[in-house]
């Protein structure tokens, strides 16, 4: 975006400038359209930014419309490129037919099914039915052409077949990025589910042998791209994928390290997902507790009203600050491309979390306090607190005379507290002992290996030398 980053930072914690650095050109376009609707930037600035993106696509109608918005004539080089693309697409029709007939043939389909278990035999079988490096390259070019004009369904189909045929692992990874982009830009629940599957494939590739082919810095960059691109399916799918977001962003140490190193601002989206999930556990862990642990240990130091809301509530127990941050967070949500449609849900969940915490450390809550903080009348405030009590495990009753919610806290005996604390002690001790034993054995093996490497040669070898 053609805007000074310092100016962007002052505009309600706008992360558009940072996030767009990690997005494909066509993924940036929806962000720019959203910013245009917000009216925070000058129309000319948005139009110039759109041109920077569109010039890398074949969306010539949009390019012409954007120049018209700016009151400028379409440059001749754009018109020449449009003509060249049309000629190229017409000449590619024969290649499309050849490739389509190849990939839809029964014999090729059977060979591709055997490729995972017997890759070499499958390649030999494919050669008997027209397989060649040239036809694979044609497939890549056709997919690229479809993607450039916005035909994402066709592009995804050709990329799937390209990945099945390609031998080069990095080329396969590039094709997976293209398929991921197509799944996102199709904007349907089926496509978002495909995007979710792509995320799992990326994780397997990063952790497997393919990850070792990348330099550490390159692999870090790839993980950062995945984190940013995955915001689309996580927040725009109608199926709640917040647990998947927590698993990737918060519970996977390699991606947590990526956030810490390159993009700490993504903690905002972790905070939103954690507050919406509330007490729901992900892989037997509470997302809010994990986020608070990261903040306490200063693993990630990023701060904005959404993150500050969690800090003030779960670390400082400052409820006035929590409500102030909630009000600020609402404005941040409204101005965030990925979060604006979740504002009402987030506010409702955040209020629940605040009053759950308040009730957990107080013996009574004034209904007037609830009405004041939620800006409700007395009757609506009473209904709201009753609904909260019903859907949580808070044991409370309403005293209408004193206009108080009286809370009953269950207390554990000292004996039960000791049992709870030591329940897993034997198990954890055994794991620690096994880990220590394994480390000692590994160190011994390494030492033995070094001793053999530096041992003096025998006499016969010396004499020969």
pLDDT tens-place string over residues 380-425: 888 888 888 777 777 777 777 788 877 776 665 566 667 666 766 7
Q: Is the pLDDT of residue 230 over 60?
A: yes
Helix (H, G, I), strand (E, B) or coil at 238: coil
Helix or strand holding residue 405 (H, E): strand 404-407
User: How many angstroms separate the CA atoms of 350 and 181, rounded?
Assistant: 32
HSE-up (13 A, CA, CB side) for residue 397: 3
Beta carbons within 8 Å of 218's beta carbon, 6+ residues apart:
none
Residue 64 is predicted with a pLDDT of: 94
φ, ψ of residue 206 to 5 degrees: the values are: -65, -35
What is the average pLDDT across 198-225?
Answer: 88
Residue 13 is predicted with a pLDDT of: 85
63 closest CA partner among 49, 72, 71, 74: 74
Residues in the chain: 465
φ, ψ of residue 4 to 5 degrees: the values are: -60, 125
Q: What is the SS3 string spanning 197-235? A: HHHHHHHHHHHCHHHHHCCHHHHHHHHHHHHHHCHHHHH
User: How many angstroms separate the CA atoms of 263 and 271, rounded?
Assistant: 14
Q: How far is CA 339 from the centre of its chain?
A: 13
The answer to whether the beta carbons of residues 99 and 142 sit under 8 Å apart is yes
On the 0-12 / 13-18 / 19+ scale of CB atoms within 10 A, 23 is buried
pTM: 0.80
φ, ψ of residue 406 to 5 degrees: the values are: -95, 125
User: How many angstroms separate the CA atoms of 211 and 35, rounded?
Assistant: 36
- 298, two tokens: 């200063």
Q: Is the pLDDT of residue 7 over 60?
A: no
Q: How do residues 292-340 score in pLDDT, each as one tens digit?
A: 988 888 777 888 999 999 999 999 999 999 999 999 999 999 999 999 9
Which band of pLDDT confidence, cut at 50, 70 and 90, is reported for residue 165? confident
Strand 364-366 relative to strand 404-407, pairing: antiparallel
The answer to whether the beta carbons of residues 139 and 131 sit under 8 Å apart is no
Average pLDDT, the chain: 83
Q: Beta partners for 188?
A: none
394 closest CA partner among 420, 369, 357, 367: 357
Helix or strand holding residue 343 (H, E): helix 343-361
71: left (phi over 0), alpha (psi -120 to 50) or beta: left
Residue 362 is predicted with a pLDDT of: 80
Q: How do residues 255-279 score in pLDDT, each as one tens digit?
A: 999 999 999 999 999 999 999 998 8
Which band of pLDDT confidence, cut at 50, 70 and 90, is reported for residue 203? very high
What is the average pLDDT across 162-191?
Answer: 85
């Amino acid at each position: 975006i053609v805007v000074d980053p310092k100016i962007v930072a002052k505009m309600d914690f706008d992360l558009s400038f940072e996030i767009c650095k990690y997005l494909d050109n066509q993924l940036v376009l929806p962000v720019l359209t959203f910013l245009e609707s917000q009216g925070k930037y000058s129309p000319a600035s948005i139009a110039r930014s759109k041109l920077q993106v569109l010039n890398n696509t074949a969306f010539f109608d949009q390019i012409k419309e954007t120049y018209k918005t700016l009151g400028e004539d379409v440059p001749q080089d754009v018109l020449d490129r449009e003509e060249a693309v049309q000629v190229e697409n017409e000449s590619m029709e024969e290649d499309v037919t050849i490739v389509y007939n190849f990939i839809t043939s029964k014999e090729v389909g059977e060979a591709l099914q055997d490729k995972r278990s017997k890759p070499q035999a499958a390649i030999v079988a494919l050669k008997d039915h027209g397989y060649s490096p040239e036809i694979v390259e044609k497939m890549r070019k056709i997919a690229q052409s479809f993607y450039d004009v916005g035909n994402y369904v066709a592009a995804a189909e050709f990329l799937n077949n390209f990945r099945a045929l390609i031998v080069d692992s990095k080329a396969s990874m590039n094709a997976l990025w293209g398929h991921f982009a197509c799944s996102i830009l199709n904007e349907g629940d089926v496509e978002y589910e495909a995007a979710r599957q792509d995320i799992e494939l990326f994780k397997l590739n990063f952790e497997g042998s393919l990850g070792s082919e990348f330099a550490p810095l390159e692999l870090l960059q790839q993980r950062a791209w995945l984190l940013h691109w995955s915001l689309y399916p996580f927040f725009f799918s109608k199926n709640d994928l917040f647990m998947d977001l927590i698993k990737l962003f918060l519970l996977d140490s390699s991606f947590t390290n990526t956030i810490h190193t390159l993009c700490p601002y993504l903690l905002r989206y972790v905070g939103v997902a954690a507050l919406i999930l509330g007490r729901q556990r992900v892989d037997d862990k509470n997302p809010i507790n994990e986020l608070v642990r990261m903040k306490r240990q200063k693993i990630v130091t990023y701060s904005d009203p959404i993150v500050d809301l969690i800090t003030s509530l779960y670390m400082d127990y400052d409820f006035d600050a929590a409500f102030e941050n909630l009000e600020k967070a609402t404005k941040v949500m409204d101005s965030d491309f990925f979060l604006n449609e979740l504002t009402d849900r987030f506010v409702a969940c955040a209020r629940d979390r605040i009053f759950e915490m308040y009730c957990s450390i107080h013996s009574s809550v004034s209904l007037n306090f609830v009405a004041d903080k939620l800006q409700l009348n007395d009757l609506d405030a009473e209904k709201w607190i009753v609904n909260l009590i019903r859907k949580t495990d808070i044991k409370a009753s309403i005293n209408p005379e004193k206009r108080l919610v009286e809370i009953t806290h269950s207390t554990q005996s000292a004996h039960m507290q000791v049992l709870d604390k030591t329940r897993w002690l034997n198990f954890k001790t055994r794991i620690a002992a096994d880990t220590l034993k394994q480390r000692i054995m590994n160190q011994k093996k390494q030492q033995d290996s070094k001793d053999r490497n530096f041992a003096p040669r025998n006499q016969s070898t010396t004499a020969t030398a």
